[in-house]
Chains A and B, each alone.
Chain A
């Protein structure tokens, strides 16, 4: 069967599953604080190609292909990958992506090829009220690649729209992948983003996820450490203000020995916004000698801000070192006072301290991506700290 007709059959099957599958309820892992029905479009959207990828810089050593254009070894990988992702546990929003993607691409880096300059891929929903994309990054054995994925724009203010965007990273043996994604979609948007990392032996995948935009954003971040010696690093930076609601779920599964995972997630929450970070590190009995760490910090900027933190662990063998930490609290009024006593205006002091709160996470992001995320973060923090009410800070300064 040629790729096109195989895809057609596969997607029809996925659609059938999508229509039968229940929307995840409150008890489903990761959905305790967010209503999943907000991410399900009304009716079934048309299965029609629409260019969502609006800009890409791809060096000649790598290839950027449509799903229908693959052949040979890549085709085998794509087919088995898609087939494996369609199972009884595949949840509704993923089935939506599998059956209804409008623009799906594969970025392939051949074995041994090392690309230093970041590959940049920009996705924009345009005026469409439903947008669905998939991006599959295949890093061959011993290859090295840096990818920056930007999601931005959307219909003009006041128009509701829905985005479903999935990224999958397959890191081959010994491959090094540095990935960053910045979600800067328009205010009226509701977005479901997923990132799935599969790391083979001795590969390392570093992903930085920045969530800034949308009225409501749900992000599922999954890392599967499948080969011994694999390492994943996840950095999360989220800034929520106004009425925004951000909900991130971080799932890390260690199935191979001597694997390592690190996660540092930092959220800044202002105004009436809400931020949720739920996480689960699972270490299977066969995964001996693993190390896993997960951290979540939330900085509260206003009286009506809300943060939920649920870092969970399920450890099934004793040859592990595993820990997590969570801290939620305000800007330290004592530090604001100190900066003010040095002549720095209060607003500026609060902004500096907020930037200082996110900085350690930013520093773990690999160099070229750090600058890209950092520049976007600075602007976003400016708005968030300026928008947050200052009265409570004043009150706290008096008592400090």
Chain B
């Protein structure tokens, strides 16, 4: 704690004199000029426009310094990362500005996908960025009421900071500190939007929470920040994103997600990422599981040009359990570099990673994972299974696991397989009257079934349709 205080003291002076130095008094006015790039001035203005407490303002400035001092990751897709120009990006966009786009400007491919998936009109406009907010009041009013009756806090991060300042201050950035990596630092400096969830002790949220339910708030942004706290013995399922493609003109999305599972609680976090293929999706997601708590990441990556995402569970308490179930679908020009990390730091903890990937039409999917058994993790277990399908000659699949074990009581097992669709399976299905494309689709759907099985019904249906769409493109 005292180190933190020292840090705060050291930065308390930062940015105090911006108004005098630059003469900006009205942040609204400042952002009308829409400056590109990031610097202390932009960060100061973001904080002011949100009327944030001093500690957050200082946190942003300090994080920005960390961002400047951190090198770009020298691993992953360094070719694409190397071309990223931080100065060409808008770091804060006012909600109203998003409404500027018209339906006609949305690319035809994405509009067609909405049709095929049967997305309701209102959602389409929201997903395409035509309307800034998804008018969900009527549909979801009863759901939010039900949640607040149980004492569950479910709001956007900006409101969370305003209304639950003390809880946020205690937990914010404790799981993913700004110095974790360059993109976490950038997010810490420029964050906007995301969700804040608190579930009181012993409460089971019952229904899955979706960012959709939040009324009239911006819930998808470039630099989302989500913090979920499940108090002792509580249970929560949170769903981020959706299977429909999210059209965005922003080239960089760097979210930070922090989950805290207190003793005996259970958090499931489901993501289906389907950003349009111009987006670099560089996300830091991490969870801490205390004694006997369970964290489950269910993670699907279908969109984006490059995704680098390795959700982590830090197993901090005895008997804690971490689970990762993921699929990646890499098509033309896409690189899905995703995986998981399980850090075992307490006795008798267990973890499991199941990763499935499909590469097609020159797409590249990489599994990158880490399992660590610290000396404190006596009697712990971990198992990893990676399966990859390569559908055509130009596609690529990589597997990069790292397993580190200390001591003689923990056990880790890892298995990976890469192959094409087997000719025997195709032949069998074709002999039953299926066309080659139908047969391929059936096999791919069967391959990712362990993932779809875990999704709520409507998501599973949409995902299957989406895979069908992606596969059809493949066969022309």
Contacts and interface: CB of A to CB of B under 8 A. Distances in A.
Contact of B408 (A300, A323, A324): A300
Kindly list the 7 A-B residue pairs having the minimum CB-CB distance in the complex, ordered from nearest: A329-B411, A318-B390, A318-B420, A300-B408, A313-B399, A326-B414, A309-B403
Interface in A169-205: none
A312 B398 contact: yes
B396 to A, nearest CB: 5
A125 to B, nearest CB: 32
**How many residues of A sit at the interface, in one of the four size bands?**
35 or more
Interface in B399-413: 399-413
A319 interface: yes
B416 A318 contact: no
A311 B402 CA distance: 7
Interface in B418-446: 418-420
B249 to A, nearest CB: 32
A310 B396 CA distance: 19
Contacts of B407: 300, 302-305
B100 interface: no
A103 B471 CA distance: 59
Nearest to A276: B404
Contact of B413 (A306, A314, A322, A327): A327
Contacts of A306: 404-406
A320 interface: yes
A396 B407 CA distance: 13
Interface of chain A, main secondary structure: strand
Nearest to B409: A330
A321 interface: yes
B30 to A, nearest CB: 40
Interface in A286-321: 298, 300-321
A379 B407 CA distance: 24
B420 A319 contact: yes
A308 B401 contact: no
Contact of B396 (A302, A304, A314): A314
A324 B402 contact: no
19 contacts: A27-B74, A300-B405, A300-B407, A303-B407, A303-B408, A306-B404, A308-B402, A309-B402, A309-B404, A309-B414, A315-B397, A315-B398, A318-B390, A322-B418, A323-B416, A324-B415, A326-B415, A327-B414, A328-B405
B137 interface: no
B402 to A, nearest CB: 5
A27 B412 CA distance: 24
Nearest to B419: A321
Contact of B390 (A300, A317, A326): A317
A315 B394 CA distance: 10
Interface string B61-102: 000000000000011000000000000000000000000000
